[in-house]
Amino acid sequence: MASNKSNLIGGLYEIAVGVSDLEQALAFWRAFGYVPGPRGRLEAAASTELYGVTSALESVRLHHGKATHGLIRLLRWDMPVGTGLGHAPLRSTGSRWSVHKTDDIMNGFNHAETARQQGQDIQLRGPLINVRSTARGYKQKPFFGPIRASHNFQMTLPEARIVTMQRFNIDISRYGTVAADALMRTSEGCHMGLVVTGEDISLFDFYDDVLGFRRGKKVHIEYEPGYTPSDFFDLAPGEHFTEFDLEDPASGETPETQLPGRLRVFMIHNAQTQPDLREQSRPGHLGYCLYTARMNDLIATRAAVMAYRKHGGAKNVTAIQSDEFGTAAFSFSAPDGYAWTLLQA
């Protein structure tokens, strides 16, 4: 176990979202329970040094009740690099998305389907039900006992990739807090995803060995039409994937003890077709383009990132400098190719 594991504060801190219009984005995320916090700005030279983007930047950090993880940071670049992930399939290499708990999944579907029927640029999938992986040994008895089930609904927009989830007869009371007065009745980001292809899942060792996430449950999913995980990832015959969780070190093993801020990683095996969109999933692009985490000792963490050699190590590691909120930070590409920024707590 790496000695710097205690450096990680909680789990995944922020999903950074490139936006074309800050005020419009603020109104959109308010519907999900997020409210604006501090604003910050970087000039082009400082933005180039920290994010590798030659453009001035204005940012807003969004809060969600008392949540300390799964927050949103809006990034408005004066000169965006590109349009980002957009409606790319969830399974794409480079994909990012956020999953938010709700107590009324059909409420979100009503809004999204109405937007679709009005001609807005939105794509939907679900709601889909999964009564298997959530059962965990519980014997389901339709009409004779409570059914333990997971419902998931996916929506993608040009600048947002959101899954809402509702659990039935499964206690996830600590896994995010629903903003009951918000239009969409959703929590902060409970877990956030990333996807690559390959066979060697030790590619993800970096996240626990260096950043200090705690490795949680692991599952293996085979192609099976009608099975929610297979359908969400558009698996074809012969394809399969490994999924596992990287947790807040304080998060427990059972549903009722789990905490938000989870990083959920996926490796698709024997992929027959797979776009690589990691360049579209980086700062400068619109939409989901960066994850952040907070550290107790940023200097020690940067040294550990620099020293890591497995799978080619981290790339493009910047010097420690002030981000747009005046916080000490540095950026890098993890061995899987995903862009990250770490912050001094």
Q: What is the DSSP string of 146-193?
A: PPPEEEEEEEEETTEEEEEEEEES---TTS----TTSTT-EEEEEEEE
Max alpha carbon distance in the chain (Å)? 65
**Which residue, among 249, 248, 246, has the nearest Cα to 201 in the 3D structure?**
246
> 40 with 325: CB under 8 angstroms?
yes
Instruction: Give Cα separations from 309 to 2, 205, 277, 339 (angstroms).
Output: 14, 11, 24, 17
Cα–Cα distance, 276 to 272 (Å, whole number): 13
**Tokens standing for residue 112:** 């999204």
CA distance 330 to 319: 6
Question: C-alpha angle with apex 11: 233 to 214, nearest 5 degrees?
Answer: 80
Give the model confidence (pLDDT) of 79-115 as tens digits. Answer: 999 999 999 999 999 999 999 999 999 999 999 999 9
Residues 177-196 pLDDT 10s: 999 999 999 999 999 999 99
Res. 3: pLDDT tops 90: no
Does residue 29 carry a pLDDT above 80? yes
| Residue 5 scores a pLDDT above 90 | no
Q: Across residues 247-259, what is the average pLDDT?
A: 93
Is pLDDT larger for residue 138 or for residue 129? 129
The per-residue pLDDT for range 322-337, each reduced to its tens digit, is 999 999 999 999 999 9
* Mean pLDDT for the stretch of residues 283-295: 98
> What domains lie within the chain, and their CATH numbers?
5-344 (3.10.180.10)
Q: Are 345 and 295 in contact (CB under 8 A)?
A: yes
Q: In b/e form, how buried is each residue of 263-296, taking b as 16+ CB within 10 angstroms?
A: bbbbbbbebeeeeebbebbbbbbbbbbbbbbbbe
Which pLDDT value is given to residue 137? 67
Q: Is 226 helix (H, G, I), strand (E, B) or coil?
A: coil
pTM equals 0.94
Looking at residue 2, what is its pLDDT?
40
